[in-house]
Amino acid sequence: MEATRSRRYGTGDDVAAEVRQAVRAAVWAPSVHNTQPWTFGVHGSRITLRADADRRLEAADPDGREMLISCGAALFTLRVALRALGREAHPRVLPDPDRPHLLADVHVGAPIPVDEHAQRLYAAVRYRRTHRGAFKPTGIRPSLLNALRLEAEHEGARLIQAVEGHTQQALAGLTQAAEHLQRMDPAHAAETARWAPAPGSTRSDGVHQSAYPGWTPPTDPHFPGRDFARGHGWGTVSDEPADPSTGLVMIIATPGDTPLDWIGSGQALQRMLLRAAAEEALAAAFHTQALEIPELRELIRTRFTNGHYPQVLLRLGIPAGPDLTTIRRPVNEVIVEEHHS
């Protein structure tokens, strides 16, 4: 009987190995400026996700909204990894109002049957990449777009596509205006410099030159990227793609604008990104500069998202140009072994 129980539920060592494997996947979630603003507390079959406030962008993200979106993406990755590894995952989001940086308690439950959908998403975790350039002029199946909208809705968010040309141009113009305003602000410039190390750096966070192109061909409409090279000419050298495309312009929005909504939008974002990567090798380019300036964010909310709060502005498509790479901190730096009496 005891042997049967061990095979069915797994030993403590089995659960510990699966928990560590799930955390190892979760750290590959996208985060603003690759700040990786999270820690994972582990105690038996329980995982706690906490925001690391020391990694919050003080100039761009004073309220911690983007930090919690990043952590929400990590939370969804944790959930899907556990299911792919054959375990139930029971998350409680914001379980303690007195500890705002405790974002989620995840209980690792009993074994479950093979979840093929979770396994497909899990397989996409390591090759999903943030793209910082033009896309190939290749269309995306309408059925996949509908599926991505449903994925976002599962997490309480809306995925809104900017279809009309003037809407795309307006959003591109607002992004350009925000990028100019941030480059004029010494605090923003210093923050970008902090998280964009010079070539040769051995840091395991931030946006390294291998993660962005040295030159991006203009598209119509054109959404400017962050100035990570800061005029130094850094970046990955690439050939100009033929007929570069903007890709699909999309906004993830939520009905509210609370920490719960921010975490939910991060989960929706990663759920959508993994589905897009798994099905058609799609990638996203993020352009959230305008959402970091309150006046411009409010304009987008009232004019383009029907009163819903815009959380992420992105372009989606098949990447053109070089295969960019990214980096993550070792799992030992983000796991905390917790001991409870």
Domain ranges of the chain: 2-128+332-337, 142-317
Closest by CA to 320, choosing from 174, 199, 217, 220, is: 217
- pLDDT attached to residue 3: 36
- pLDDT attached to residue 113: 94
- pLDDT attached to residue 292: 98
Q: What is the pLDDT of residues 178-192, one digit of tens each?
A: 999 999 999 999 999
Low-confidence spans in the chain with pLDDT less than 70: 1-13, 238-241, 340-341
Identical fold, 2-128+332-337 and 142-317: yes
Residues 128, 162: Cα–Cα separation, whole Å? 23
- pLDDT attached to residue 260: 98
Contacting residues for 265 by C-beta, under 8 A, at least 6 apart: 69, 72, 155, 157, 252, 253, 254, 311, 312
With the C-alpha atoms ordered 20, 25, 31, 35, is the resulting torsion angle positive or negative? positive
Strands (E), the chain: 38-43, 46-51, 87-93, 102-111, 158-161, 248-254, 283-286, 309-317, 335-337
- pLDDT attached to residue 8: 42
On whether the pTM is more than 0.85, the answer is yes
- pLDDT attached to residue 4: 34
Could you name the CATH architecture of 142-317? Answer: 3-Layer(aba) Sandwich (3.40)
Instruction: Check if the beta carbon of residue 36 is closer than 8 Å to that of residue 71.
Output: no
Tokens 């372009």 found at: 315
**3-class secondary-structure state, position 134:** coil
Q: Are strands 46-51 and 38-43 parallel, antiparallel or unpaired?
A: antiparallel
Residues 131, 212: Cα–Cα separation, whole Å? 8
- pLDDT attached to residue 10: 52
Residues 53, 37: Cα–Cα separation, whole Å? 7
- pLDDT attached to residue 173: 98
Could you name the CATH architecture of 2-128+332-337? Answer: 3-Layer(aba) Sandwich (3.40)
